Amino acid sequence: MRIMKHISASLQWVLFIISGNLVAPIAIASAYGLEGTDAMLFIQRTLFVLSVAGLLQVLFGHKLPIHEGPAGLWWGVFTLYASLGVTLFGSTTETLQVLQFSLLLSGVLSILLSIFGIVEKLAAYFTSTVMGIYLLLLVVQLSGAFFNGMLGLTYTQDGTIHSTIALISLAVMGLAFYLNTVPRLKQYSMMICICFGWVLFALFDLTTPIAHTTDLFTIPTLFAFGPPIIEWSMVPTVFLVTLLLMTNMLASVRIMESVLKSKNEKVDNISIKKAGFFTGVGQLIGGLFSAVGPVPISGAAGFVAANNIPSRIPFIIASVIIIGCSLLSPVTAFFATLPSSVGFAAIFPIFAGMLGLAIQELDRVHDRNTLYKTVGIPLFAGIGIMFVPSTAFGSLSPVLSSLLSNGLVFGTVIAIIFEVVRSRGTS
């Protein structure tokens, strides 16, 4: 019985990880003009890197069931340089070679920050107030992507609602909420919803054709875009991105720690230094295999809380399965056809539930007056930045653009600054 439970939980993890990790590499491949086999190989390498990074973390790093996903910061940097890179570096290929160097440099910086204890000092400022603000901003930022996907805006040329996709998404989301109320089916809700939605997409001829692959088994290529090009002008941007990646990693670890404690799980052996070290290793692997840099995903806490899967074993099994799938070209090609709208609709209840986690974190703060004063500005600034078009920051330096184009990071940084000032004022 326990074996079947682990298998079921592992498959849930596989679908959750894949549904959330395909959008970024597909979008980046499109931005750099990668098509057909090149695009699929990029997706393959990214899935491989993300799964290996997650496996290393759960075995040797923070040792928590937190999957790695394409870092939104790196997604932003890749997208930014897709338009600037040709002017700055000569071609899209050379731009990708520069970004390989950037990932490698980020990995080295992450490891150094961890070895010298800087990450542990930063962790001290991740209080319940900061965590609550981070989760609220995360839910707000993701809500836009969720509704754009579920309404089918990415499927239409003019950016209008695709009525059929919207109705399918509504049906899948409704089924997901219903299944979450049925104790016996709750654990299988994501698998059922994704299969149900995928079948509906196929019936209405909305699925994309599976890419043709000539090889059954493909080992990820080192430096697929060519040897890294050292570009020292990238150092300031990489340094800021690395610090912000550490912020994201710490947030994900603290949130999962809170969820596991609420389920009476033992979480005493968390090492922030090791977590930071293996975050750096993940960036190095991303650079070596010409993929997107990984980061621990906060949404894993919502998944564990919603599906009651606190054990590491299903996550480890799922990571191994995805590594195997990433080496099999036909399997990767098949999963790449998963409709993003279905994925968003199936996991909607999980991410909606993260709003509850945010409120729980804020409820832990005893000094309510300080809380009320602290929460407003980071939320107002972070949410406000989300409504500013990312193109508005195109004239700024890449360092500032990376910070200001991400409302989640911008608001969280302000919250951390407030926490630093408050802690020094009381000491």
CA pair distance 371, 366, nearest whole angstrom? 8
Q: Where are the domains of the chain?
A: 2-426
Tens digit of each residue's pLDDT, the chain (427 residues): 677 778 888 999 998 898 888 878 888 887 888 877 888 899 999 999 999 999 999 999 999 999 999 987 888 788 778 877 777 788 899 999 999 999 999 999 999 999 999 998 888 888 888 889 988 998 888 888 888 889 988 777 777 899 999 999 999 999 999 998 888 777 778 888 989 999 999 999 998 888 777 788 889 999 999 999 998 888 888 888 898 899 889 999 999 999 998 888 887 778 899 999 999 999 999 999 999 999 999 889 988 988 888 999 999 999 999 999 999 988 888 888 888 888 889 888 888 888 888 888 899 888 888 888 889 999 999 999 999 887 787 777 777 877 787 888 889 889 999 988 887 766 6
CA pair distance 191, 154, nearest whole angstrom? 23
Residue 222: what residue type?
Answer: L
Nearest to 119 by CA among 234, 267, 268, 270: 270
Distance of CA 426 to the CA centre of its chain: 35
390: DSSP letter: G
Contact between 296 and 248 (Cβ < 8 Å): yes
Hey, which bits of 235-349 come out as E strands? Answer: 294-296
Predicted TM-score (pTM) of this structure: 0.83
Rounded to 10 degrees, the C-alpha dihedral 272/259/403/222 comes to: 60
Could you write out the three-class secondary structure of the chain? CHHHHHHHHHHHHHHHHHHHHCHHHHHHHHHCCCCHHHHHHHHHHHHHHHHHHHHHHHHHCCCCCCCEEECHHHHHHHHHHHHHHHHHHCCHHHHHHHHHHHHHHHHHHHHHHHHCCHHHHHHCCCCHHHHHHHHHHHHHHHHHHHHHHHCCHHHCCCCCCCHHHHHHHHHHHHHHHHHCCCHHHHCCHHHHHHHHHHHHHHHCCCCCCCCCCCCCECCCCCCCCCCCCCCHHHHHHHHHHHHHHHHHHHHHHHHHHHHHHHCCCCCCCCCHHHHHHHHHHHHHHHHHCCCCCEEECCHHHHHHHHHCCCCHHHHHHHHHHHHHHHHEHHHHHHHCCCCHHHHHHHHHHHHHCHHHHHHHHHHCCCCHHHHHHHHHHHHHHHHHHHCCCHHHHCCCCHHHHHHHCCHHHHHHHHHHHHHHHHHHHHC
